[in-house]
Amino acid sequence: MRTITATEASRRFSDLLDAVERGENVTITRGNRRIAEIRPARARRGRDLREALTGTAPPDAEFEAAVEQATALLTTENRDPWAGD
């Protein structure tokens, strides 16, 4: 893992992004303190969502009714809400 100062990161931001794009992890320091770590973004997949929801109870009837009520309020009409009917 490469370590650079915040000043250097600011001056060479494009180079920093190129290094991260190549797979490098970079630590940013300010005043000899670690401030941030920048690493390549991980592609998210449906599997990540399934893992995040593992152990979560499915929606109950009250939640489903609330979603239906909210959805019913949506409209595809293109009208001005400020026009006053």
CATH code for the domain of 21 = 3.40.1620.10
- Domain annotation covers residue 21: yes
Separation of alpha carbons 1 and 24, rounded Å:
7
Q: Which domain holds residue 8?
A: 1-73
Separation of alpha carbons 1 and 73, rounded Å:
51
Rg over alpha carbons for the chain, rounded to the nearest Å, is 24
- Domain annotation covers residue 84: no
* Higher local confidence (pLDDT), 20 or 42: 20
- Domain annotation covers residue 58: yes
- Domain annotation covers residue 78: no
- Domain annotation covers residue 52: yes
Q: Mean pLDDT, the chain, as a whole number?
A: 89
For residue 33, list its beta bridge partners: 30
Residue 81: predicted pLDDT: 66
- Domain annotation covers residue 79: no
- Domain annotation covers residue 8: yes
Backbone dihedral region of 84: left (phi > 0), alpha (psi from -120 to 50 degrees) or beta?
A: left
Q: What would the pLDDT profile of 12-33 be if each residue is shown by its tens digit?
A: 999 999 999 999 999 999 999 9
Separation of alpha carbons 54 and 60, rounded Å:
16
